[in-house]
Structure 1
């Protein structure tokens, strides 16, 4: 099985993926570049055991990361505890096999390239992938699988953090889908939720409409990331919800590296 590791700015997701690309188990831990390979190993060993797996079941490790400082300890984890030389998405044998048709291809985040790979493999035609993470990103993938660019906006939690930090009397609230469709709040909390939630829905819908107009062809919109399901009840702009798109991209890239072996 593949141990796929998606190291994002907020969380690191570990997933076991079988030979058919099916995710057998997944776990999430807060991103901390100071966390050592030994700490990861203790935590991960317990979770593997709870799911009925052993370290020996892992026959490959693929890492995708947007946190460079976290990479070394994850590579040590693979080598020391799984006896595997980890492949790093976008590097060496795991170099991107898609065209990054942008002005600065070297600066495209691993998660965005992986999302493009997985989305193109699953859906035909032009695509827009909206990834709800620390940042909210819109990625455009054309019909032949090339990554064409996109948009980076502050994530919804980041927006709330900035608001609460800058306004002394505003409380920290939980972000959730409102039970009432009205946007006119009658308390401080409901007004904040309306501004954060409905403001975010308006941003998604507005930016996506502009992107689609610019593409000028039919587009399939795919939502992914930890907060993707938060918005699906109150907007109809998503054609598909794929929570594990980045992990799927890691699995596809790993399979392609195995096919390329002599």
Structure 2
């Protein structure tokens, strides 16, 4: 990213061998556990840590914030924490440094007991009715059956009403994690039954620190002023910032 042109290391990092399948930075460096989420989201991580340590685990969570702050990623990490299991630990925990039995499948969005649904394309009562019918069945292999519903504000009024009864009296083996960019469009009756976390915009200083760390791993030199410009343009979104960083490289 300097004016002197790319070095050999930056050329190889930015243009990997054909067929190796280049992964954009936002995917390659997506947070995998709560220690990664500490960038900009310390209050949420602290609250969840205390809740898990005292056994006060909510039945439903509402994650809200602007695009690109990590709502869906946080939802998967939370699902991982709820279903954490290793030969030594078999309980929900925030300490996810050692990959557990279900971790990889959950983070890749392919675990049978962690069901992800995009409310933008599944807005109706029929989609919610399917969930309501399935919640009574126990999870196949994990501790909890977790439903992650993205852009939950897009659900119809009828769908929200259908979901409400299940949220009022959910089975012990079911957890809901909702994500939305439009919290004001979510009915208060639903909000009141969720533990709400407002994911903050990430500060420019934190983004610069994140970019610096990633570029060091990639072996790409960068000027601090350039990274500061990218961080300002990202407007608090890690995903937008990493997309811009990809372009800059």
How would you bin the TM-score normalised by the shorter chain?
Answer: under 0.3
Q: What TM-score, normalized to structure 1? A: 0.27
Q: What TM-score, normalized to structure 2? A: 0.28
Higher relative contact order (CA 8 A, sep 6+): 2
